[in-house]
Structure 1
Amino acid sequence: MTIDLPIPITRYFAFDAARDLDALATCFTDDATVKDEGQVYEGCEAIIAWKRGAGSKYKYTVEPFAVATEGNRTIVTGHLVGNFPGSPVDLRYGFRFDGDRIADLEIGA
């Protein structure tokens, strides 16, 4: 299923799928924040370290299938499948932008 996503989100999911961390870093502002699994990652270096750890620990794919707007956030729901406990699962990705880059991302069920 194909859905229309804002360009920063399309780039985020494409670079994540390709495991291209250098390109993924360009999706975020320098002081961006990511919240995932009860942890908070602040700044681009911490975010890339988080992705590096998740990418080496688990192999996964994400297929976005729904998008909505809630206040100043764009919420994407994606089907996540991989070799992690509880797979598969549908997760919500809450994005907030600063211009054309991601300033804040919160991932949860």
Structure 2
Amino acid sequence: MKLPGTIESLIKAQNDLDSTAFAAHFTEGATVSDEGSSYAGRTEIRQWIQQATQKYQMQLQPLDYNQTGTVADLTVEVTGNFDGSPAVMHYHLDLAGSFIRSLRITG
């Protein structure tokens, strides 16, 4: 499956457990929604993914990707230290050029 460079790089940053590189893929005012919580801006996004990564050691394997205009849906298999691993998750993205404007993660 062919993924845009931004998405490939985001997955690589997660799999390298690099929260700084992960957060760098987002616009300065980006938002993330995950597990009933929301995070705004690169600093909060970096802190969120760093805490989640330390706790769960998540690894992502892309399964499907669809994009229409600036709206994209990425389906990934997530493995890590959590009940139910592996799990299929859906990343609903709003893109702004080579950056992510928003990400909503659903199960």
Q: Provide TM-score, normalisation by structure 2.
A: 0.92
Q: Distance in 2 between matches of 1:62 and 1:50?
A: 17
Kindly provide the CA deviation profile for residues 41-95 of structure 1, in whole angstroms up to 9, marking residues without a partner as x.
1111000000111011112211001112367421011111111022111000111
Aligned to 1:47, the other structure's residue is in SS state helix
Instruction: Please identify, of 57-66 and 68-77, the stretch whose mean Cα deviation from structure 2 is larger.
Output: 68-77
Specify the code of the residue in structure 1 equivalent to 2:26. F
Q: Alignment identity in percent?
A: 33
Q: Is the 8 A contact 2:15 2:60 kept in 1?
A: yes
User: Unaligned 5+ residue runs, structure 2?
Assistant: none
Question: Offset at 1:98?
Answer: 1.1
Counting matched residue pairs gives 107
Q: Is the 8 A contact 2:63 2:75 kept in 1?
A: yes
1:66 to 2:64 alignment = yes
Instruction: Please identify, of 27-36 and 68-77, the stretch whose mean Cα deviation from structure 2 is larger.
Output: 68-77
Structure 1 vs Structure 2 CA RMSD:
1.4
Aligned to 1:86, the other structure's residue is in SS state coil
Q: Distance in 2 between matches of 1:66 and 1:21?
A: 23
1:90 to 2:88 alignment = yes
Q: Provide TM-score, normalisation by structure 1.
A: 0.90
User: Unaligned 5+ residue runs, structure 1?
Assistant: none
Q: Distance in 1 between matches of 2:52 and 2:75?
A: 19
1:33 to 2:31 alignment = yes
